[in-house]
Structure 1
């Protein structure tokens, strides 16, 4: 139980920052281009000592809470910079530490530039699912995802995606992560991503908040440019005779509208069950909070000294496990609060009152959810009419 009397939800997702640097210099990166610059003072690579201690904490938590499964996400920076040996060591250490009754599922998010057969063979050996970041065709992607010298990354990512969709590696292909950019044509972006046959596409709203609003998000809350961008993709995806891929945001909204669960923190009132471990062993909240203020993701805890249960007792983490009670009054009064859930936590931030605000994308989420609900209702009516 939390100090507020609510039942705690154990951590079922552990995000490991196995490398704290990157080989790209994307201008929209939440790690390097926003308020929190703690990466500058952390080791580049997670040491074997910290890996072993983290593995022990994961095993301890899984045992104490009798978890049937735990998901470990290898992350960065760019995780492939840690090298194949570090990734192999990490996967083996965690599997050794976790009880035999707990299934360990691995994921890895990469920009794809270093991805080759050597890495992919290792990932196939450990059943590590691979997600690649790509924002669309070269002009769209390379506006933000660039090297420090200004060169675009698209040309280097394409070979990695071609490898992943090959029969040899298809089983570990997790999908494509794409950050929405209003300057890009939404349908053109979607159609380009489909060329790489992703099993899933994750469309992310760019990180921003009330103190530092995202690009193109107007003060006028009657305007919904991000919703209109997403709706254009939704119409193409939903209206297709056979959907070519899953889109996590859309499927989560549809599931919530039907009384189910969300598969993303971006919508819904599900309890946050993710914890982040930095390269130095610091236990932190979700790293999107680095876009709000220096130290906002920190808990003051460390895997050498502190358990995951101690992290669960941290007030900031408890605040994200109490559902609608943790939202602003505006959100609590909203008729679609169970669907929207206040939006992504980091997007609610304002310097004068913290996170007790609707999402900076509140108007866009309201419009998008109502649109999807309308399409689903019309579709259901048509199907019922044919019975």
Structure 2
């Protein structure tokens, strides 16, 4: 978020005030009652959420859970870079029943390419030590998975296998944020090359070809689900409606914070939990645009044979200064090649299974 086009973080409080936490809890409870919500998920992230400290984290979790009626289950996940994930923090999070997602970009050289301290020293050693505390003892049940941002300079198989060392229940590979006006690294909009597809195909073949289930690679398993006719559970692919909002530290309610990669104010709704309900946000044009399914895609996407699987890609990745979001993803060619590869591989296996009956 610190390097995105939207720099509004500079004017936000570092952490939430108790009054904002109270308002968030009240809005969540209100929304759950009105819509008879059986389960909801709250993700604490940043920045680095562990910097808020145990007292504020406990206040947020307990206040939100108290605000919902009996019968509504609140799942809380904290997404952390794990540098501060000590034994005492794990014991504290276990007591709260908060699950932990960790950001790790792979083996040492891969992790330390981007994730460094202010003095330039890499974070791999500290993060992997924290992951071992989380995954090899009594706290493994808290582990929700690993978030890994793709850098195509890193070896895909070595990256994947470095993540597997920690027995993650799930791995999320994220495409670097960018768009047609500000392209992501190594993605030339004028080129027919598909470097991100090549990287992900290597991971797919290694993961899919394993003789045992090693983990759930969510981006790839969601594509398989979509090819089989099931709805997507992520905004990265497919046409399922967006079902989340972001609340900033001052209480501002925003659209997906990934939109901040597009332009200043792209995620703004003009609403705040101190005065607005989540139902009011649901009527915001930016939210409604992400509920339109096929009709919300560009004409180029609607004419594509895989549009129900690709879903036009992540909404933020469609942006250009000239035509706003009325475009395919800047990763269009990569997504097409990846999905086509997965489709062919899965179709072959289905045909082989049928022929053996």
**TM-score with structure 2 setting the length:** 0.98
Secondary structure of the residue that 1:143 maps to in structure 2? Answer: helix
Residues 183 and 189, structure 2, Cα contact 8 Å, conserved in 1: no
* 2:151 aligned partner: 181
* 2:163 aligned partner: 193
Secondary structure of the residue that 1:183 maps to in structure 2? Answer: coil
How far apart, in 1, do the equivalents of 2:297 and 2:189 lie? Answer: 21
* 2:2 aligned partner: 32
CA drift at 1:350? 0.4
Q: Taking structure 1 as reference, are residues 32 and 262 closer, same or farther at Cα in structure 2, changes over 3 Å only?
A: same
Residues 172 and 218, structure 2, Cα contact 8 Å, conserved in 1: yes
Residues 189 and 330, structure 2, Cα contact 8 Å, conserved in 1: no
Count of residues paired in the alignment: 357
CA drift at 1:180? 0.6
CA drift at 1:218? 2.3
> Structure 2 residue aligned with 1:60, among 30, 46, 61?
30
How far apart, in 2, do the equivalents of 1:162 and 1:117 lie? Answer: 11
Secondary structure of the residue that 1:274 maps to in structure 2? Answer: coil
CA drift at 1:362? 0.5
Deviations along 1:194-219, one digit per CA (max 9) or x if unpaired, are: 11111111000000100100111123
1:82 aligns to 2:19 (yes or no): no
> Structure 2 residue aligned with 1:204, among 174, 178, 189?
174
> Structure 2 residue aligned with 1:262, among 216, 232, 237?
232
CA drift at 1:222? 2.6
CA drift at 1:138? 1.1
Deviations along 1:313-348, one digit per CA (max 9) or x if unpaired, are: 111111011111111111111111110000001100
How far apart, in 2, do the equivalents of 1:174 and 1:194 lie? Answer: 13
Alignment of 1:5-44 (within 5 A): 31-44=1-14
1:356 aligns to 2:316 (yes or no): no
Residues 221 and 363, structure 1, Cα contact 8 Å, conserved in 2: no
Secondary structure of the residue that 1:141 maps to in structure 2? Answer: helix
1:338 aligns to 2:308 (yes or no): yes
**Root mean square deviation, CA, Å:** 0.9
Secondary structure of the residue that 2:245 maps to in structure 1? Answer: strand
* 1:162 aligned partner: 132
Deviations along 1:95-137, one digit per CA (max 9) or x if unpaired, are: 1101112111111100000001222122222221111011111
* 1:141 aligned partner: 111
Which structure has more relative contact order (CA 8 Å, sep 6+)? It is 1
* 1:18 aligned partner: none
> Structure 2 residue aligned with 1:365, among 314, 322, 335?
335
1:117 aligns to 2:82 (yes or no): no
> Structure 1 residue aligned with 2:248, among 278, 292, 314?
278
* 1:105 aligned partner: 75
1:247 aligns to 2:199 (yes or no): no
Secondary structure of the residue that 1:176 maps to in structure 2? Answer: strand
How far apart, in 1, do the equivalents of 2:151 and 2:215 lie? Answer: 20
1:47 aligns to 2:17 (yes or no): yes
Deviations along 1:354-374, one digit per CA (max 9) or x if unpaired, are: 111000000000000010011
* 2:295 aligned partner: 325
How far apart, in 1, do the equivalents of 2:117 and 2:345 lie? Answer: 41
| Structure 1 consecutive aligned stretches of length 4 or more whose deviation exceeds 6 Å | none
Unaligned runs of 5+ in 1: 1-30
**TM-score with structure 1 setting the length:** 0.91
* 1:14 aligned partner: none
